[in-house]
Amino acid sequence: MKASVGLLSFLLLASFWVAAAESGKTKIPIKVYRSPTCSCCGKWVTHLKDHGFVVEDITSEEMTSIKNQYRVPAALRSCHTALVGGHVIEGHVPAEEIRELMGMKSGPLGLAVPGMPVGSPGMEMGASKDPYQVMSFDQSGSSKVFKDHPQ
């Protein structure tokens, strides 16, 4: 009996360890600012949570002021703005790219997905997908392609 309880305990612990090793993802806190009337923003928040982020979800009527405060370039603006590890995230940026940014020793100020492309996280509409780019931007507002997402 003791042996089977010990074996069961070992197997349970091993399964938790394997699950943690497979995910390989540390929980990352992120603060999201969004308009209270935007439904796609809520879907993006769910995407982040599903990918291991701990989300502080803040609704605000002052989104333009928030974007100005955190130096989001006008050409890259979208519907929500997030702060994570000293970086700014604008729009429907996939969780994988946020994690990639967090792993960089020196990187851009932030990442953005301008507009609201169909098929980006939070903008899923069945099988429809528009091609889009995740853009990086720096303190001066200069931007370049960080990652392409073809159709």
Domain architecture of the chain: domains with CATH:
25-149 (3.40.30.10)
pLDDT over 80 (residue 151): no
pLDDT digits (tens, 9 = 90+) for 114-142: 999 999 999 999 899 999 999 999 999 99
Residues 6 or more apart from 20 whose CB is under 8 A from it? none
Q: How many CA atoms lie within 13 A of 137 on its CB side?
A: 23
Percent with pLDDT over 90 in the chain: 73
Instruction: Enter the tokens of residue 116.
Output: 């609201």
3-state DSSP of 63-78:
HHHHHHHCCCCHHHCC
Instruction: Enter the tokens of residue 109.
Output: 């100020």
pLDDT digits (tens, 9 = 90+) for 68-80: 999 999 999 999 9
Output b/e per residue, 50-87; b: 16+ Cβ within 10 A: ebebebebeeeeebeebbeebebbeebbbbbbbbbeeb
Least confident of 6-20, 47-61, 128-142: 6-20
pLDDT digits (tens, 9 = 90+) for 21-36: 335 568 999 999 999 8
| Structure confidence at residue 54 (pLDDT) | 98
| Structure confidence at residue 21 (pLDDT) | 34
Q: Which residues of the chain form beta strands (DSSP E)? A: 28-34, 53-59, 80-84, 87-91, 110-113, 132-137, 143-149
